[in-house]
Amino acid sequence: MKNRLIRAIAGTFVLISVVLAVKVNINWLWFTAFVGANLLQSSITKWCLMETILGKLGVKD
């Protein structure tokens, strides 16, 4: 459950930031890059901040 939520949240963040970059300001693409960097970092270190946050919110694996 937690992995599906992490993917859904990351995908939502990416889509929202791309829409904001098109409609509001191109600098929103920095947020897209931040999300991508966090995904890459979590694949290398096997640690994900969103997973920690969801765990503290009581979301089960």
Phi-psi region of 47 (alpha: psi -120 to 50; beta: other; left: phi over 0): beta
Cα–Cα distance between 15 and 53 in angstroms, integer? 21
**Where does the pLDDT of residue 1 fall: very low under 50, low under 70, confident under 90, or very high at 90 and above?**
confident
Cα–Cα distance between 23 and 51 in angstroms, integer? 30
State pLDDT tens for residues 3-53. 999 999 999 999 999 999 999 999 999 999 999 999 999 999 999 999 999
Q: For the chain, what are the domain ranges?
A: 2-56
User: Is residue 54's pLDDT more than 90?
Assistant: yes
